[in-house]
A and B are shown apart, each in its own frame.
Chain A
Amino acid sequence: MPEFKKYTIGALVTNKSGVLTRISGLFTRRGFNIESISAGQSEDPNLTRLTIVLIGDEYSLYQMIKQMDKLEDVKKVGCANELDCVYRDMMLVKVKALPEVRTQIIEINEIYKAKTVDLSPDTMILEITGDPDKLDAFLNVIKPYGILEMHRTGVTALARGSHTLRDRDCYGDHVNKVV
């Protein structure tokens, strides 16, 4: 059986309408199992930065990178797994917080370096940023208080040091490696 792992893929794509449709359509039609996609501004106003988390084996990783590389709108794509990267995920959680449990929640916040960004008589909104494991752990502790709604942005990643995605070879670039 092929080994299924989580792979983090970074991509720079043209900042135009419809580009995400092209990319997400590719994932659906080729059957890639995507855990998260986060899209946002990059250093170049003409390009959008994507971080995609793929759950799959090496075959699907190579196929996904190579198929993405064929899209006109994808300018750079590479896998971040073998690099030393900073991974960050952000989450807002609205939790039930009657006065008697408020201090407990604030204590948990302190330990996880989360922030209280809204307080109402019976709810709180908590904001936390960190690597995905930390967010999972935080969520586990907060869950018993009653989560009303939450939103995670999905992982974003940058390689440490002078490596950049533009500098393809340095970014664990499977596309070039295969050639």
Chain B
Amino acid sequence: MKLQGADILIKCLEEQGVDTIFGYPGGAVLDIYDALYRNGKIKHVLTAHEQGAAHAADGYARTTGKVGVCFATSGPGATNLVTGIATAYSDSVPLVAVTGNVGAGFLGRDSFQEVDIVGITIPITKHNFIVKDVSELADVIRAAFKIAMSGRKGPVLVDILKNVQTDYCEYEPVVPEPCEPLPVAEERLKTIAETLNASKKPVIMAGGGVIAADAAPLLKEFAEKLDCPVSYTLMGKGAIPDDDPLCLGMIGMHGTVASAKALIAADTVIALGARFSDRVALDRDRFTNGKTLIHIDIDNAEIDKNVKSDIHLMADVGETLKTLIPMLETKERKDWRVKVEAFKKENAAKKDVSTRAYAIISAASALAPEGSTLVTDVGQHQMWAAQHYKSVLPRRFCSSGGLGTMGYGLGAAIGAAFGTGKLSVLITGDGCFGMNMNELMTAASENVPIVILLMNNGVLGMVRQWQKIFYSRRFSQTTLSRRIDYVKYAESVGAKGILLGMEDDVQTTLSGAFAQAEAEHIPVLVDCRISPDENVLPMIKPGETYDMQIEKMEEN
């Protein structure tokens, strides 16, 4: 049948099973929005700003494992997506961003709201397309979804000229083929199995690849068969339950004492779907320090990019573990486990549980209903959430790990709630919240259940912490002298606002907030007052090694 381009786009999205789109209309996507209106089957979430739409599509994708879709118009609409696309690119999140552009006759003439969004997004997409001919449209959309989901996942942008949206073309529905996983090189697995069987003190480092491959159950089986402790990177949070006897907690700049000690003591490290960013590798030349490093990643370019491995395999983590586990000997590593237990005890003893941040986040972790998603922004609260929030399941953690996008959280929390149909717990700071707090309007009008724990310390805490350590406490522009009343702000957009003063009871306030968000299906913002001098500890300075963990900081 002959259809207009805009209708072909919507049909192709239906082919791919898209049920939710986050976006914002405008001149160059009028026809697409008209097609969406006439279609009536796909839910569209109208955000306050295109950046919010991109982050929402990201939160939807991380929680569902499906491709997140966002729409924006040409020019500023398209450029507003950029931070969201770059965030998804850094964290390997599959997105398809659809933008409109001016018609062919206006292209390249600096027309109203014209921008070269394909040129702008080349470095932050897996691939992107500009569609200038309606006959290419259906195949481009199908290719975009395939690219987003295959191999190492990531964002794809499709820019559609206005005339393509109205031109007619023959459309035939196509059933998408499932993405076939890469075959695993069995010879290499043999070497890996032999190395692991022979190791006395192995450590597993689980990265975001474990989540992306939905391999958490396999990871558990793998760790138990090897009798091997597991550290996770920020992106790997949820890959193993924090209360699992083999779990060491997070690894990296603000990772646990147990993870650092176990890494130093280990003879073999197996990294699964991790890329050794500078926040994990720190001193990349001395990360391994004589131990054997086995690196498994789906992206060949990550192998030996930051840290040199001894054995490597380019493969999907899930497929690898499926084949590898039967090749392993069931081991009991008693001596190693005794040591690891001691590290964990030391960790527990050194953990500062007297802070307000700890009290709030651990209470939220206990109160959060089953299946809810933990979403964070970026900074101190993000690290506190990663350290203290214990009840995270796979695909129930959204955080901007690679790009570190302040303002990511609220949009992502909305997307996660749509993806899961469950409540989102957003832990944010007053700095981050200020960046995209407009999306509270979206959450309120869409009746999205979110408990927002606004860690309000009146400062840009993480930058301030660095100013304490590296800049002799010269607090340049990190004090937020804002007069905003967050409770009133929440109420004004139709959400609920609650103040949690420094002396107020955390348990009572938070349980009320959770109950209300769930019962009324609304966002509930809790303005949690905390001291500007709570620090994120432990900490390893950039470029230093794991034996240089700072466990305490002198205040004043």
Q: Which residues of A line the B interface, CB within 8 A?
A: 18, 21-22, 25, 29, 59, 62-63, 66-67, 69-73, 175, 178-179
Contacts of A59 in B (CB 8 A): 304
When the two chains form their complex, are residues A69 and B300 in contact, meaning their CB atoms are under 8 A apart?
yes
Contacts of B312 in A (CB 8 A): 178
B313 within 8 A of A: yes
B452 within 8 A of A: no
Interface string of B302-338 (1 = CB under 8 A from A): 0111000000111000000000000000000000000
Contacts of A62 in B (CB 8 A): 304
A-B contacts, 24 listed (Cβ < 8 Å): A18-B118, A21-B119, A21-B122, A22-B122, A25-B122, A62-B304, A66-B300, A66-B301, A67-B301, A69-B300, A69-B301, A70-B126, A70-B299, A70-B300, A70-B301, A71-B127, A72-B127, A72-B147, A73-B127, A178-B300, A178-B303, A178-B304, A178-B314, A179-B188
CB proximity of A28 to chain B, nearest CB, Å:
9
CB proximity of A46 to chain B, nearest CB, Å:
15
CB proximity of B212 to chain A, nearest CB, Å:
16
CB proximity of A3 to chain B, nearest CB, Å:
16
When the two chains form their complex, are residues A25 and B304 in contact, meaning their CB atoms are under 8 A apart?
no
Q: A143 vs B409: C-alpha distance in the bound complex, in angstroms?
A: 63
The chain B residue with its CB closest to the CB of A22 is B122
Q: A21 vs B128: C-alpha distance in the bound complex, in angstroms?
A: 13
Q: A15 vs B432: C-alpha distance in the bound complex, in angstroms?
A: 44
Residues of A contacting B: mostly? helix
Q: Which residues of B line the A interface, CB within 8 A?
A: 118-119, 122-123, 126-127, 147, 185, 188, 299-301, 303-305, 312-314
Within 8 Å by CB of B313, from A22, A67, A69, A179, lies: A179
When the two chains form their complex, are residues A179 and B301 in contact, meaning their CB atoms are under 8 A apart?
no
Contacts of A29 in B (CB 8 A): 123
The chain A residue with its CB closest to the CB of B152 is A70
CB proximity of B426 to chain A, nearest CB, Å:
32
Contacts of B126 in A (CB 8 A): 70, 72
CB proximity of B92 to chain A, nearest CB, Å:
12
Q: A95 vs B147: C-alpha distance in the bound complex, in angstroms?
A: 51
Q: A22 vs B124: C-alpha distance in the bound complex, in angstroms?
A: 11
The chain A residue with its CB closest to the CB of B143 is A72
The chain A residue with its CB closest to the CB of B119 is A21
Count of A-B residue pairs with CB < 8 Å:
37
Q: A134 vs B127: C-alpha distance in the bound complex, in angstroms?
A: 40
When the two chains form their complex, are residues A175 and B300 in contact, meaning their CB atoms are under 8 A apart?
yes
Q: A59 vs B305: C-alpha distance in the bound complex, in angstroms?
A: 8
The chain B residue with its CB closest to the CB of A18 is B118
CB proximity of B99 to chain A, nearest CB, Å:
16
CB proximity of A146 to chain B, nearest CB, Å:
41
Given A70-B299, A178-B300, 12 more A-B residue pairs with CB atoms under 8 Å apart are: A21-B122, A22-B122, A25-B122, A62-B304, A66-B300, A66-B303, A67-B301, A69-B300, A70-B126, A72-B147, A179-B188, A179-B314
The chain B residue with its CB closest to the CB of A67 is B301
Contacts of B313 in A (CB 8 A): 179
CB proximity of A70 to chain B, nearest CB, Å:
6
Q: A18 vs B313: C-alpha distance in the bound complex, in angstroms?
A: 32
Q: A178 vs B301: C-alpha distance in the bound complex, in angstroms?
A: 10
Q: A21 vs B130: C-alpha distance in the bound complex, in angstroms?
A: 14
Contacts of B303 in A (CB 8 A): 66, 178
- A-B pairs, top 4 by smallest CB distance, nearest first, are A66-B301, A72-B127, A179-B314, A66-B300
Contacts of B127 in A (CB 8 A): 71-73
Q: A71 vs B312: C-alpha distance in the bound complex, in angstroms?
A: 22
Contacts of B299 in A (CB 8 A): 70
Contacts of A178 in B (CB 8 A): 300, 303-304, 312, 314
CB proximity of B134 to chain A, nearest CB, Å:
18
The chain A residue with its CB closest to the CB of B313 is A179
Q: A69 vs B303: C-alpha distance in the bound complex, in angstroms?
A: 14
When the two chains form their complex, are residues B300 and A179 in contact, meaning their CB atoms are under 8 A apart?
yes
When the two chains form their complex, are residues B185 and A179 in contact, meaning their CB atoms are under 8 A apart?
yes
CB proximity of A2 to chain B, nearest CB, Å:
12
The chain B residue with its CB closest to the CB of A175 is B300
CB proximity of A38 to chain B, nearest CB, Å:
22
Contacts of B123 in A (CB 8 A): 25, 29
When the two chains form their complex, are residues A63 and B122 in contact, meaning their CB atoms are under 8 A apart?
no
Q: A69 vs B314: C-alpha distance in the bound complex, in angstroms?
A: 13
The chain B residue with its CB closest to the CB of A68 is B301
CB proximity of B306 to chain A, nearest CB, Å:
11
Contacts of A67 in B (CB 8 A): 301
Contacts of A22 in B (CB 8 A): 122
Q: A147 vs B500: C-alpha distance in the bound complex, in angstroms?
A: 78
Q: A62 vs B300: C-alpha distance in the bound complex, in angstroms?
A: 10
The chain A residue with its CB closest to the CB of B151 is A70
Contacts of A179 in B (CB 8 A): 185, 188, 300, 313-314
Contacts of A18 in B (CB 8 A): 118
Q: A160 vs B188: C-alpha distance in the bound complex, in angstroms?
A: 32
Q: A67 vs B119: C-alpha distance in the bound complex, in angstroms?
A: 18
Q: A4 vs B392: C-alpha distance in the bound complex, in angstroms?
A: 47
CB proximity of B135 to chain A, nearest CB, Å:
16
Contacts of B118 in A (CB 8 A): 18
Q: A19 vs B206: C-alpha distance in the bound complex, in angstroms?
A: 36
Contacts of A71 in B (CB 8 A): 127
Contacts of A73 in B (CB 8 A): 127
Q: A59 vs B304: C-alpha distance in the bound complex, in angstroms?
A: 8
Q: A95 vs B122: C-alpha distance in the bound complex, in angstroms?
A: 42
